Structure 1
Amino acid sequence: MDDFLKYLTFPYLWEGAVIAVQLLVGALAGGILIGFFLALASTSKHWFIRVPVKVYIYLLRGTPVLLQLILLYNVLPEFGLRFSPFTSALLALMINETAFCAEIIRGGIMATDRDQSMAAQAFGYSRTKEMIHVVIPQALRAILPTMGNETVGLLKSTSLASVVGVNELTMRGQAIVSQNFLFIPVLVASGGIYLILSTLLAGGQWWLEKFYNLDERARRARARLAKLPPEADVMAMQLPKQRWDTQTAAPVLEVDQLCVEYAGKAVLKSLSLTVRRGEVVVLLGRSGSGKSTLLKSILALTPRSSGTIQTEGHFMGSDENGRPLAARHLPANRAKSGIGIVFQHFALFDHLTALENVMSILLRVQGVQPEIARAKAMRALKMVGLQDFAASLPHELSGGQKQRVGIARALAAEPQILLFDEPTSALDPELVREVNQTMRSLAQTGITMIISTHDIAFAAGVADRVVFLQNGALIEEGPPSILQNPQTPAFASFMEHEKITEAQHANA
């Protein structure tokens, strides 16, 4: 025991441990940094970027790190590159880590809800802001446990550096044993030092996982909210003060001969639609009729084959000649459109509280000061009756509450046009009423709304105009009275089917 304690505290061994930690930190930092870009490249839609990266990862994951270390140490001098044993070992370990870190990071990115990425794009987030503020914070929860295991494994792999002459912990232990032949106390002490370092790494992993834990985030958010002065939530929002005369109001949205194709199949066929200021337009049609595609096309979230979309002279996703904008120009194009959207499956950012979700567009897209953004967000939450849930995370809310937060998020940005993509179809029947009531209240403010829904009764009560789509074409449009008196056989058949379905649900 005395020999064990002697070598456990032996400075010579701890100096070797410091070298091992230096290798660990350098290799891990380089592996994560390069691995992040490799992860992005491995998910690229361009095969000439994706395939070479996947081959690189396959080769490095499939060969032993010791073999890579020896090859690098002996091959580089052949090209006139001579490094110290430490630098050679660091490079070899880092190159090996890039492959493993790339796969870990790719898994975390792929685990992020795609609806949230689409929401960020719709609101005008740039690709960089989407990655920093939406994808990475959520991906970290999936990445951290695996990355923690990888870090501990890398710590042990630093012992391989001894084969190229790096005087790290394992090599120093072997040097001592070769002199005094005290195998057990020296090697067990070396193992004890590795365990101490591994324990510190595990503690760091535990702290990071706790920090990014959703419940812990909610606790911190409630503590921050409790410290805010009560006057911080009095900012008014600029919404229309009265209903417009939708018969004479100027057009705010013009869709002209819009065509959209997926895999060679026409989804929208030369569709044209004009929406006037303050008008509430309800889109009806069976699933697959093109309602959601139309709404996403308005925000340039889907590529179009031809046609133009403009809001008060601002062309969406294209120039005035219909030529598509480059991807790098789309975020600014969407941000300037004055269009908000509420998604079918809520698309709230899971790592943000209700208040932070509502503030997100104001902060990340519009560049509003945090105090003003918070005040506007609280006002929007009050409008939908959720001011008492400001510090709640999405997983703590009911479906109806989530959708109302989604409405508040869109409202806080003060849009000119508000799109609703099947806002109640993902809700339980008892929660539909509260969301419908919120939309009815909004309709009375005079904000322009385009609503995709299957709820005929709601459409009859809120719409200024009803538009019926079938197979990507606009079949019939008119005032709500056409719900009782369809003018086309296709719309009449649809209404009859909906009445039968509603009767079946009522009798169920």
Structure 2
Amino acid sequence: MEPFLQYLTLPFLWQGALVAIQLMVGALTGGLLIGFFLSLASLSPHWFIRLPVQTYIYILRGTPVLLQLILLYNVLPQFGLRLSPFASALLALMINETAYCAEIMRGGITSVDRNQRFAAQAFGFSRRDEMLHVVIPQALRAILPTLGNEAVGLLKSTALASVVGVNELTMRSQTIVSQNFLFIPVLAASGGIYILMSAGLACVQWWLESRFGLEFRARRAKRRMLREPKPRPFDLFASLRVGKSESALPVLDVAGLEVAYGAKPVLKDLSLTVPRGQVVALLGRSGSGKSTLLKSIVALSPVKNGSITVSGHRIGTDPRGHALSARALPANRAASRVGIVFQHFALFDHMSALENVMSIPTIVQGESRALARDKAYAALQTVGLGGFADRLPHELSGGQQQRVAIARALAGQPHLLLFDEPTSALDPELVREVNATIRQLARSGMTMVISTHDIDFAAKVADHIVFLQDGALIEQGPPSIIVDPQTPAFQAYLRQERQQDEFELPEA
């Protein structure tokens, strides 16, 4: 036991451990930085970007790091590039780590709910803002456990650097053994030092996981609520009160819209005008094009022909009708001032209710935190959730999450508010509270387009009914057309819905 403790505290071995740590930190840092861009490239929709990166990753993961290290150490001098043993080992380990880190981060990025990314894009988040504020904070929860394991494996792999003459921990242990032949105490002490270093990495990993965990974020949100001053009153609906000349202009104008996915047409020569303050309900079977129409209004669906304008602002195309580039779309969406509430809420899981609602004014509209906070509180109070500002989405019921999603859309003071099947993902007892919120918004004068299967709700809330079938507008008019449909297709749809839901038509 005494020889073991003697070597465990030997400075000569700990100096070798420091070299191992330097190799590990340098290789992991470089691997993470380069691997992040490789992970994005491996997810590129363009094969000429994706394929070379995937090939690079496949080759590095398929060959031993020892072989890579020896090849690099012996090949570089033939090209006139001579590196020290330490630099050669660091470069080889870093190159190897780029492949593993790229795959770890790719897995973390793809683990983020796609609906949340679509929501960020619909509200006008730039690609950078989407990555910084939505993707990376959530991807880290999936990345950190695997990355911690990779860091420990990399620390042990630094022992391979001894083959090119790096005087790290394992080589120093072998040097001592070659002099005194005390294999067991020296190698046991070396193993003990590796275990202590691995324990330090485990502590760092635990700390990082706790910092990015939802429980920590929930506690932080509650503490922040206690520190910050009370919000000031804010009129969310001030933007709805416009002059007579503006009130005469339609908020939404869809002209000759055609959308196709490949060779399959989804929307066919669809035209629709929505005056200011009007509530339009879109009815139709699944696959009729309701959701595609809403996604087209926020430029999430590729438009083949036609135009979409909101308050005179063209969406998704330039004045000549050409589709905007992916780089130009976020600013175009932000300028359109269109809010959207998705079927499955699409709240940002790592943000509190207040932070979710503040995200549009701060990230998209660039307003100060103080003003955004006032807007967010006003929006939450509008939907009846002023007392739930510090709750994370997983702490809320489905109906409360949907109302937070409505508040998030309201905080941007939109000219137009879209609802994509707002109650279809809710239990029946939660539908009533969301429908009541939408009715309240209708009374406030908010211009809305609502995709729904709830015919009774559409009849009570909407000023205008639109029936879609197979991507075409079949019939439209006031709510009375539900009682007296004019087309056989609409009659058949109402009859089928009545049979499924035992719906009783309202009296004219």
TM-score, normalization: structure 1? 0.97
The answer to whether the 8 Å contact 2:416/2:446 transfers is yes
Quote the residue 2:330 is aligned against: 331
- The residue type equivalent to 1:174 in the other structure is Q
TM-superposed CA distance for 1:243, in Å, is 11
TM-superposed CA distance for 1:229, in Å, is 2.3
Quote the residue 2:122 is aligned against: 122
- The residue type equivalent to 1:149 in the other structure is N
Are the structure 2 counterparts of residues 151 and 479 from structure 1 closer, same or farther at C-alpha, using a change threshold of 3 Å? same
- The residue type equivalent to 1:79 in the other structure is F
Quote the residue 1:480 is aligned against: 479
Structure 1 segment 44-123 matched on structure 2, within 5 A: 44-123=44-123
Q: Determine the C-alpha separation between the residues in 2 that align with 1:129 and 1:78.
A: 45
The answer to whether the 8 Å contact 2:124/2:364 transfers is yes
4+ residue runs over 6 A deviation: 241-246
Aligned-CA RMSD value = 1.7
- The residue type equivalent to 2:420 in the other structure is D
Q: Determine the C-alpha separation between the residues in 1 that align with 2:283 and 2:43.
A: 36
Are the structure 2 counterparts of residues 376 and 53 from structure 1 closer, same or farther at C-alpha, using a change threshold of 3 Å? same
Structure 2 SS opposite 1:229: coil
Structure 1 SS opposite 2:145: helix
- The residue type equivalent to 1:355 in the other structure is L
Quote the residue 1:261 is aligned against: 260
Structure 2 SS opposite 1:499: helix
The answer to whether the 8 Å contact 1:242/1:444 transfers is no
Q: Determine the C-alpha separation between the residues in 1 that align with 2:60 and 2:344.
A: 40
Quote the residue 1:287 is aligned against: 286
Q: Deviations over 1:401-448 (max 9, x none)?
A: 000000000001100100001100111111000000000000011111
Structure 1 segment 32-47 matched on structure 2, within 5 A: 32-47=32-47
Q: Determine the C-alpha separation between the residues in 1 that align with 2:25 and 2:239.
A: 56
TM-superposed CA distance for 1:181, in Å, is 1.0
The answer to whether the 8 Å contact 1:259/1:268 transfers is yes
- The residue type equivalent to 1:31 in the other structure is G
Quote the residue 1:345 is aligned against: 344
Q: Gaps (5+ residues) in structure 2?
A: none
The answer to whether the 8 Å contact 1:281/1:467 transfers is yes
Structure 1 SS opposite 2:497: helix
- The residue type equivalent to 1:35 in the other structure is G
Verify: 1:212 aligned to 2:182, yes or no: no
TM-superposed CA distance for 1:245, in Å, is 10
- The residue type equivalent to 2:75 in the other structure is V
Greater CA drift, 235-244 or 292-301? 235-244
Q: Determine the C-alpha separation between the residues in 1 that align with 2:179 and 2:440.
A: 85
Are the structure 2 counterparts of residues 432 and 338 from structure 1 closer, same or farther at C-alpha, using a change threshold of 3 Å? same
- The residue type equivalent to 2:479 in the other structure is P
Quote the residue 1:492 is aligned against: 491
Structure 1 segment 281-320 matched on structure 2, within 5 A: 281-320=280-319
Structure 1 segment 72-471 matched on structure 2, within 5 A: 72-230=72-230, 232-239=231-238, 249-471=248-470
Q: Determine the C-alpha separation between the residues in 1 that align with 2:241 and 2:300.
A: 31
TM-superposed CA distance for 1:235, in Å, is 3.0
TM-superposed CA distance for 1:321, in Å, is 1.9
Q: Determine the C-alpha separation between the residues in 1 that align with 2:354 and 2:59.
A: 46
TM-superposed CA distance for 1:244, in Å, is 11
Q: Determine the C-alpha separation between the residues in 1 that align with 2:307 and 2:485.
A: 29
- The residue type equivalent to 1:411 in the other structure is L
Q: Determine the C-alpha separation between the residues in 2 that align with 1:2 and 1:421.
A: 72
Q: Gaps (5+ residues) in structure 1?
A: none
Q: Determine the C-alpha separation between the residues in 2 that align with 1:64 and 1:404.
A: 53
The answer to whether the 8 Å contact 1:267/1:472 transfers is yes
Greater CA drift, 313-322 or 427-436? 313-322
Q: Determine the C-alpha separation between the residues in 2 that align with 1:49 and 1:378.
A: 44
Q: Determine the C-alpha separation between the residues in 1 that align with 2:297 and 2:502.
A: 34
Q: Deviations over 1:168-205 (max 9, x none)?
A: 11101111111111111111111111111000000000
Structure 2 SS opposite 1:309: strand
- The residue type equivalent to 1:222 in the other structure is K
- The residue type equivalent to 2:484 in the other structure is N
Greater CA drift, 328-337 or 392-401? 392-401
The answer to whether the 8 Å contact 2:456/2:503 transfers is no
TM-superposed CA distance for 1:504, in Å, is 8.4
Q: Determine the C-alpha separation between the residues in 2 that align with 1:24 and 1:59.
A: 21
The answer to whether the 8 Å contact 1:244/1:446 transfers is no
The answer to whether the 8 Å contact 1:15/1:169 transfers is yes
Q: Determine the C-alpha separation between the residues in 2 that align with 1:131 and 1:242.
A: 36
Q: Deviations over 1:320-347 (max 9, x none)?
A: 2210001000000000001100000000
Structure 1 SS opposite 2:303: coil
Q: Determine the C-alpha separation between the residues in 2 that align with 1:319 and 1:233.
A: 39
The answer to whether the 8 Å contact 2:255/2:308 transfers is yes
Q: Determine the C-alpha separation between the residues in 2 that align with 1:166 and 1:443.
A: 72
Aligned length: 504
TM-superposed CA distance for 1:376, in Å, is 1.1
Q: Determine the C-alpha separation between the residues in 2 that align with 1:235 and 1:3.
A: 73
Percent of pairs identical after alignment?
A: 67
The answer to whether the 8 Å contact 1:244/1:278 transfers is no
Q: Deviations over 1:220-264 (max 9, x none)?
A: 11011012223x243332446679999x83211111111111131
Q: Determine the C-alpha separation between the residues in 1 that align with 2:75 and 2:33.
A: 25
Structure 2 SS opposite 1:327: coil
- The residue type equivalent to 1:314 in the other structure is H
Verify: 1:28 aligned to 2:3, yes or no: no
- The residue type equivalent to 1:320 in the other structure is P
Q: Deviations over 1:283-318 (max 9, x none)?
A: 000000000000000110111111111122211010
The answer to whether the 8 Å contact 1:243/1:445 transfers is no
Q: Determine the C-alpha separation between the residues in 1 that align with 2:371 and 2:123.
A: 19
Q: Deviations over 1:77-97 (max 9, x none)?
A: 111111000000000000000
The answer to whether the 8 Å contact 2:141/2:213 transfers is yes
The answer to whether the 8 Å contact 1:362/1:413 transfers is yes
- The residue type equivalent to 2:448 in the other structure is M
TM-score, normalization: structure 2? 0.97
Q: Determine the C-alpha separation between the residues in 2 that align with 1:344 and 1:233.
A: 31
The answer to whether the 8 Å contact 2:268/2:471 transfers is yes
Q: Determine the C-alpha separation between the residues in 2 that align with 1:276 and 1:35.
A: 50
Structure 2 SS opposite 1:328: coil
